[in-house]
Amino acid sequence: MTIAFILLLILTAFLWVGLIGVLATINSSDAAGNGLSQAYSVFISIGLWILLAIVLTLAGVRGRMVAWVPIAAIVLVPASCAAAIGSMTLLTNPANSRWPIMVPVLAPALITFYACWVYFGILPQFNATAWCGISIVVLSILPWLAMAR
């Protein structure tokens, strides 16, 4: 099971790097190229967050996950995916700043960090549950606040 977990982490890393590459150049082409970049970023995001949910589930089955985390994950994983797609909407407007890219960059990294922490039992004295959870909540809210103004 550890080999499957590591292989899923590698696949997750490939999708994550691909997403960052697409988002970094989302407005650097003509209209058709920008539209394709936007479509690819949404499809890559959906695939990435599906893999993140699987990795988190495997970590919860094997590791020492706090009892309330699976319930929070059912809400926070899709919310962070929606926030990443929302931040992509902000990135498509060239007048906006580039800060929204931090949501699709940091949220998968935090979820992966937490899954590895639970799966492998790394740093048992370090309370990553609250730190990662609060960070993902903040990252999930930021794009919507920016769109509301």
Give me the pLDDT at residue 53, please: 95
Nearby residues of 107 by Cβ (< 8 Å), 6 or more positions away: 80, 83, 84, 136, 139, 140
Nearby residues of 48 by Cβ (< 8 Å), 6 or more positions away: 12, 15, 16, 19, 108
Neighbours of 73 (CB within 10 A): 23
Give me the pLDDT at residue 125, please: 46
Q: For 97-138, how does the pLDDT look when each residue is reduced to its tens digit (9 = 90+)? A: 788 899 999 999 999 998 988 888 875 545 777 788 888 989
Neighbours of 71 (CB within 10 A): 9
Q: For 60-107, how does the pLDDT look when each residue is reduced to its tens digit (9 = 90+)? A: 888 777 778 888 889 999 999 999 999 988 888 877 778 889 999 999
| 112 close to 12: Cβ distance less than 8 angstroms | yes
Distance CA 53, CA 111 (A): 9
- 3-state helix, strand, coil split of the chain in percent (to 5) is 80, 0, 20
Mean pLDDT of 42-60: 94
| 140 close to 79: Cβ distance less than 8 angstroms | yes
Angle at 18 between CA 141 and CA 41, to 5 degrees: 50
Give me the pLDDT at residue 118, please: 86
Distance CA 51, CA 4 (A): 12
Give me the pLDDT at residue 124, please: 54
Angle at 112 between CA 111 and CA 113, to 5 degrees: 90
